Chains A and B, each alone.
Chain A
Amino acid sequence: MKRTAVAAAVAIAFADSSIVVLALPELYGRFHTTITGVSWVITAYNLAVALTAFALVLFAHRVYAGRLLAAGLVVFLVASICCAVSESLAFLIAARSVQGIGAALLLAGSLPVLGARRWTIVGTFGLAVGPALGGILTQAFDWRAIFIAQAPVAALGLVGTIRAHPHEVVDERPRPLPGRVLPANTCLALLFGALVGALFLAVLLVISVWNYSPIGGAFVVSALPVAALAARPLEARLPRLVAVWGGAALLAGGLIGLALLPSASVWLMVWALALCGAGLGLAVPVLSNAALDLGPGLTRSGTLTVGARHLGLVLAIALIAPLLASKVPAAGDRALLKGTAVLLDAPIGLDKKVPVALDLRGAFAQARAGVTPDLAEPFNKHGAQHDPALAAARDKLLGAIESTITRASRSAFFVCAGFAALALVLALAFRRRLEMS
């Protein structure tokens, strides 16, 4: 029971890296901010986890893991409530930073409680389901529900930890971290940076641009964790280095596939995400084993790898957010021009063309306020269900807009593919040290 509660808290702490992705449009509209400004809601959390984890490496051996876990859960619980009641973006970002500090403490303290294998599986699962979970909560309630839902999970974990006596877990003796964990952690940082493309960007595309419901989007994106799980037996049969090289190459290839999406094509996205998932399933377990000291240095090595992974996420977001901020508005304007061209040239009568155009103006005004507009609605309202020409114009307009905005993410996906390619190069360069670990 205690382990289950702690495992749920660990999954949530990992999920928090990506859980607010689908709430970003709502936050963007609510706080009247910029793309870069709203991206700090994600960056602040991951940066706080990374910095706290690196700091913890220095003295984690002096603290009982149970106390670390309990302290982390308390901080995480309080910060989650603060996030939920935020009335300004600055306060939300500050609360997210504190939440990240709590997450780093609880992730470090939970390692000896859960064991390395379960901790890795729960963490990967949490990170993969984060965007879908956040999207469902945002759709069902609003963005605040994401943080409200985390509080009881942290509270249950805290109760379980306190009841099981924190002194049960023995602290670690100070000893230097072996140098062999550095290449593995560097590769993991790069692979997690690449994951920003497969998780964050792909989810945003499916739901915010292609207009899928969060549940529909979750179904599409589930190709990634499913493929990661399916790749585990293959990973067990491959030489370890080949699994890492192949995994990094597949992740890079899948991200190139996402970058080259020609239109809003679900099956191409599922194909690309499955390749990304297979790549992660092959490379991450091998690198995680190499990054963790399974002996008495477990907590310190685990803390280091938490820091490395979140640093990878932060670096990727720091590169991608300004890239998207520069590309998306221009793509939005281009999409608007293309949509206008479709509507002007559509073979439909003025009695429908003019009212549809006037209604579309309202929809585009919504888009500028941060709300994903339903561009099909003006056509449906004026009889697209019974008018094939109007329905064709609707589909052509949606296709033109979706294709144009989908391509605006191209350079960001290529950056993420670059992260995976760099991990491959490093794994090739450090093959001896990775093989020894």
Chain B
Amino acid sequence: MRPAVWVLVALLATVVALVGVELGKGALHEPAPKLANPCHPRGGRTGGIDATIQRIVLDGLDGAACRLHTTREELVLSFAPETGIRRRWDQHTVEVAIRAGMLRSIDEAQRRGDLPDFAAGLARELVKRVPIDQLIRGGLSLRGLLGQ
């Protein structure tokens, strides 16, 4: 074979190498992060009031998402219409799901010892009374209440 043909063969071999590298880098796998099943418990950061509040809110959202058969992320985005994600549930259904999820996550935080009894009681009252949108936006009210 002519040397030029060998060069062509080498170029074709680099196609195979390129595809091999891409497959090795996970070209056929779903890119990270995978959206977790909200019905399966997942660990979270603890230690410090900020981390505790975040875990309570996120666990609460997981509980609500599980009830609504969706993901935590879709539930959060449904509160921001400008992102284009439409809410698939009526306001009452969402409120019931979120309050139930939050109350359960407060119970679990109290059981873990992350939340003192008096704070757990206050948090439950807040969850029952505070508008849902405010709870979703990071539990700022709860954080403020706890003196941060």
Q: Which residues of A are at the interface with B, using a C-beta cutoff of 8 A? A: 234, 237-238, 242, 246, 249-250, 253-254, 256-257, 260-263, 265, 268, 271-272, 275, 278, 282, 332-333, 336-338, 340-342, 344-345, 347, 349-351, 353-354, 357-358, 361-362, 364-365, 368, 396, 399-400, 403-404, 407
Q: With a CB–CB cut-off of 8 A, which chain A residues contact B82?
A: 361-362, 364-365, 368
Q: Are A278 and B72 in contact (CB under 8 A)?
A: no
B112 part of interface (Cβ distance < 8 Å): no
Select from chain B the residue with minimum beta-carbon distance to A227: B11
Contact of B25 among A262, A272, A282, A407 (CB under 8 A): A262
Report whether B138 and A354 are in contact in the complex, using a CB–CB cutoff of 8 Å: yes
User: Which B residues are CB-close (under 8 A) to A336?
Assistant: 77, 83-85
5 new A-B contacts, CB < 8 A, other than A261-B22, A350-B54, are: A246-B12, A250-B11, A338-B33, A354-B140, A361-B83
Q: Find out whether the CB atom of B15 lies under 8 angstroms from the CB atom of A337.
A: no
Determine if A237 and B2 form an interchain contact, defined as CB atoms under 8 angstroms apart.
Answer: yes
**In the complex, per-residue mask of B76-104: 1 if CB is within 8 Å of any chain A CB, else 0:** 11001011110000000000000000000
Say yes or no: A361-B80 contact (C-beta < 8 A), given A260-B22, A268-B21.
yes
Are A263 and B140 interface neighbours, CB within 8 A? Answer: no
What A residues does B76 contact at CB under 8 A? 340, 344
Q: Which residues of B contact A349 (CB under 8 A)?
A: 50
Known A337-B73, A345-B33: A257·B19 in contact at CB below 8 Å: yes
Chain A residues with CB below 8 A from B71, complex form? 337
- A407 x B31 contact (CB < 8 A): yes
- Cα(A353)–Cα(B71), bound, Å: 20
Is the Cβ of B11 less than 8 Å from the Cβ of A364?
A: no
What are the residues of chain B within 8 A of A246 when measuring CB–CB? 8, 11-12
Which residues of B are interface residues toward A (Cβ below 8 A)? 2-5, 7-8, 11-12, 14-16, 18-19, 21-23, 25-28, 31-33, 35-36, 45, 50, 53-54, 58, 61, 71-74, 76-77, 80, 82-85, 137-140, 143
Q: Establish whether residues A341 and B19, one from each chain, have CB atoms under 8 Å apart when the complex forms.
A: no
The residue that A242 contacts in the complex, of B5, B26, B28, B36, with Cβ under 8 A, is B5
Interface SS of chain A: helix
With A253-B12, A271-B18, A278-B11 already in contact, the answer to whether A354 and B137 are too (CB < 8 A) is yes
Q: Do A249 and B33 touch across chains, with their CB atoms under 8 A apart?
A: no
Write out the residue numbers on chain A whose beta carbons fall within 8 Å of the beta carbon of B15: 249-250, 253-254, 256-257, 275
The number of A-B residue pairs with CB atoms under 8 Å apart is 134
Cα separation A338 to B23 with both chains bound (whole Å) = 22
CB distance from A198 to the nearest CB of B (A): 14
Q: Please determine whether A257 and B54 come into contact, CB atoms closer than 8 angstroms.
A: no
Query: Which of B7, B14, B31, B85 interacts with A263 by CB under 8 Å?
Result: B31
The 10 A-B pairs with the shortest beta carbon distances in the complex, nearest first, are A253-B15, A403-B31, A237-B4, A365-B82, A354-B138, A340-B73, A260-B22, A262-B27, A260-B27, A262-B25
Q: Establish whether residues A350 and B138, one from each chain, have CB atoms under 8 Å apart when the complex forms.
A: yes
Inter-chain contacts of B74 with A (CB < 8 A): 337
Which of A262, A271, A336, A357 counts the most B-chain CB atoms under 10 A from its CB? A262
Q: Is the CB of A365 within 8 A of B83?
A: yes
- Which residue in A353, A357, A400 is a CB contact (below 8 Å) of B32? A400
Contact residues in B for A345 (Cβ distance below 8 Å): 33, 58
A262 touches B138 (CB 8 A): no
Could you tell me the distance between the alpha carbons of A333 and B73 in the complex, rounded to whole angstroms? Answer: 11
> B19, A338: Cβ atoms under 8 Å?
no
- Take A354-B137, A400-B33 as given contacts and tell me if A268 and B22 are in contact as well, using a CB distance cutoff of 8 Å: yes
Are A350 and B139 touching (Cβ within 8 A)? Answer: yes
B84 lies within 8 A of A333 (CB) = yes
Nearest Cβ on chain A to B31's Cβ, whole angstroms: 4
Whether A340 lies near B77 (C-beta < 8 A) is yes
A253 CA to B21 CA in the complex, in Å? 13
Please give, as numbers and ranges, the residues of chain A lying within 8 Å of B4 by CB-CB distance.
234, 237-238
Give the residues in chain B near A396, CB-CB below 8 Å: 33
